[in-house]
């Protein structure tokens, strides 16, 4: 008992020392060139070009030919999703994809919003830019950059965009109306992949900042989850004076002393600032954090070390690609879905939406380049880069979805994001928040912006 009190006291003093020595830092703003060959001596073409998603009979016929030749391994009895994607349910996905899924129709859905491309640091960067259809008199829209992660895409935001750009016609308050920009990370979907090593989250943040400047925005809001959360965090560390506010639904906060309090949390909950809800989401520790990380991080080890190897297989087999990606949309949405024969996929998503995301990877052949993003960010060692140790001094809002892979308590978020002004325990939802619970996420973004602008 006394030993535990002593350990807790020492730990508290160490935390206080680290917090009290706080000083504002920014990441150095460097340049980059990621295109093929040597950097041209001429000025980069900064024009913004309209873009449309297209398909062809040849593309669809090739997909069908490959699906028809699929070779599956029988699932183990009663294995459900504990061994990965269950091949019994995969047969249903394959049948729907081959016989009912209409890619031409989904291409029309994708083109519902305006698409563009522009060259930045040698790469063709793809983005959608959606302006409000109408604005209340005397109002201007608030620019909002939204960044996806892996294995998602810009398509994750299609259902949240109208809630942000046209809230009144979708049952929400029009106190805040946004102009939404959703880029594709380089090497994902329609954004060109780097030809050179080293394009990480900081370089991507710099590229997206240049995109916002090119669109005429000097100040703007940013939002992200998964890699998008890290990219947006890096942007706030690079150019804090240009970021009006940062909203996240995930945060990578492992290098701080609060993580050591996990072991003492049940006995000293109040001392470490944990709420009852935090305790529900984090304990029992062995199951909800350690076993969860072990079960769900195998892909990360592969992609952080040798992404090109597994990429060869996934880029050659549409069914293999679908199984690899859709497994994440099962267990990352709710870890309990691994106990279901169908992985619970259709409880939260439609097959059309899931397969459209798959098709963005398949038709562009970008699964390998998307996986390289792990190598570029983690290849030097887990969280080795300086920005992981740096704090963020931009006003921040955080939405804690209960089925996220690992829960992040408010105290942890506040440790890194010093100007945290909004922290919400969300009623439901998991890792793919915008895709799964667009209304909840839209409401929390508006809540954060309202609190910030009333300060």
The residues that are catalytic are: 226, 374, 431
Tell me which DSSP letter residue 52 carries. Answer: -
Q: How many CA atoms, within 13 angstroms, populate the side-chain half-sphere of residue 25?
A: 13
**Strand ranges (E), 216-260:** 220-224, 243-248
> Token pair for residue 1?
């008992």
CA–CA distance from 107 to each of 56, 58, 65, 182 (Å)?
11, 15, 20, 17
Question: For residue 357, what are the contacts with CB-CB under 8 A and spacing of at least 6?
Answer: 151, 152, 153, 155, 156, 325
Tell me which DSSP letter residue 64 carries. Answer: H
* Nearest Cα residue to 351 out of 70, 96, 79: 96
For β-strands 243-248 and 123-130, DSSP reports them as unpaired
Cis check: omega of the bond before 151, within 30 degrees of 0: yes
Strand order in the sheet with 48-51: 48-51, 115-120, 123-130, 178-183, 142-147, 220-224, 243-248, 396-400, 420-425
* Nearest Cα residue to 279 out of 402, 396, 430: 402
* Nearest Cα residue to 179 out of 189, 166, 170: 166
Q: Length of the chain in residues, anyone?
A: 455
Question: For residue 75, what are the contacts with CB-CB under 8 A and spacing of at least 6?
Answer: 83, 86, 87, 88
């Amino acid at each position: 008992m006394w030993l535990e009190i002593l350990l807790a006291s020492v730990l508290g003093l160490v935390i206080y020392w680290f917090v009290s020595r706080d000083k504002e830092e920014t990441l150095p703003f460097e340049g980059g060139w990621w295109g093929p060959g040597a950097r041209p001596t001429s000025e980069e073409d900064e024009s913004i070009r309209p873009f449309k998603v297209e398909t062809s009979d040849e593309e669809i016929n090739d997909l069908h030919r490959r699906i028809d030749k699929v070779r599956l391994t029988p699932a183990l009895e009663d294995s459900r999703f504990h061994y990965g994607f269950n091949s019994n349910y995969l047969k249903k996905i394959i049948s729907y994809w081959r016989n009912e899924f209409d890619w031409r129709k989904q291409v029309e859905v994708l083109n519902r919003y305006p698409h563009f491309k522009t060259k930045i640091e040698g790469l063709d960067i793809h983005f959608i830019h959606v302006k409000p259809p109408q604005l209340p008199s005397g109002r201007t829209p608030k620019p909002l950059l939204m960044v996806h992660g892996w294995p998602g895409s810009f398509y994750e935001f299609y259902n949240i965009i109208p809630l942000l750009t046209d809230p009144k016609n979708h049952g929400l308050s029009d106190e805040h109306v946004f102009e939404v920009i959703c880029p594709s990370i380089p090497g994902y979907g329609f954004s060109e992949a780097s030809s050179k090593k080293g394009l990480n989250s900081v370089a991507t943040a710099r590229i997206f900042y240049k995109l916002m400047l090119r669109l005429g925005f000097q100040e703007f809001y940013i939002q992200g989850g998964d890699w998008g959360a890290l990219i947006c965090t890096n942007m706030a560390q690079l150019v804090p004076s240009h970021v009006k506010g940062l909203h996240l639904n995930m945060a990578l906060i492992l290098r701080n002393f609060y993580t050591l309090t996990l072991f003492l949390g049940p006995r000293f909950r109040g001392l470490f600032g944990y709420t009852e809800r935090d305790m529900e989401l984090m304990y029992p520790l062995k199951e909800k954090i350690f076993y969860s990380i072990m079960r769900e991080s195998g892909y990360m080890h592969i992609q952080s070390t040798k992404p090109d190897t597994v990429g060869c297989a996934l880029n050659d087999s549409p069914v293999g690609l679908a199984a690899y990606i859709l497994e994440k949309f099962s267990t990352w949405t709710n870890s309990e879905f691994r106990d279901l024969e169908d992985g619970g996929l259709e409880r939260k998503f439609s097959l059309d939406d899931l397969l459209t995301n798959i098709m963005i990877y398949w038709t562009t052949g970008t699964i390998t380049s998307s996986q390289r993003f792990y190598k570029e960010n983690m290849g030097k060692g887990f969280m080795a880069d300086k920005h992981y140790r740096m704090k963020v001094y931009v006003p921040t809002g955080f939405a804690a979805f209960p089925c996220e892979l690992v829960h992040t308590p408010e105290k942890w978020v506040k440790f890194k994001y010093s100007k945290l002004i909004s922290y919400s325990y969300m009623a439901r939802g998991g890792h793919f928040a915008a895709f799964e619970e667009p209304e909840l996420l839209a409401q929390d973004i508006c809540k954060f912006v309202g609190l910030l602008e009333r300060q």
